[in-house]
Amino acid sequence: MLTRFCTLLLLPALLACQRNSPPAAASQPCIDPAKIRPDAACTMQYDPVCGCDGKTYGNACQATNAGVTSFKPGECAGKTNN
């Protein structure tokens, strides 16, 4: 009985949290043209990152200068390199 009561009490709170969360893709574009810097210099150190565009960049500096707004450490699985 107590378990049902707690579940019914928490259910509206959980549903409200989900309703207010914006979709991740709609909140921020993957490439920001204002941040593209083709002439910027980066080190040649290979420390790959996977960009939100599905491309592997040689390091975070290269991804940032390509205008990529988010990336994670490591190569992209099955994607091309940039």
80 or 44: whose pLDDT is higher?
A: 44
Does 20 map to a domain? no
Q: How many domains does the chain have?
A: 1
Distance, CA of 65 to CA of 35 (rounded, Å)? 7
Q: CATH number of the domain that 66 lies in?
A: 3.30.60.30
For the residues of 20-73, what is the DSSP string, one character each? HPPPHHHHS-SB-GGG--TT---------EEETTS-EESSHHHHHHTTB--EEE
Higher pLDDT, 80 or 32: 32
- At 9, is the secondary structure helix, strand, or coil? helix
pLDDT of residue 13: 56
Q: Which amino acid, residue 2?
A: L
- Report yes or no on 55 lying in a domain: yes
Q: Is residue 21 part of a domain?
A: no
Q: How far apart are CA 68 and CA 66, in angstroms?
A: 6
pLDDT value of position 79: 57
Q: Containing domain of residue 65, as a range?
A: 45-82
pTM above 0.75, yes or no: no
Residue 32 in any domain: the answer is: no
What pLDDT score was predicted for residue 28? 73
Q: pLDDT tens digit string along 9-67?
A: 555 554 555 444 444 445 679 999 999 999 999 999 999 999 999 999 999 999 999 99
In this structure, what token pair is assigned to residue 29?
């574009």
Q: For residue 81, is it within any domain?
A: yes
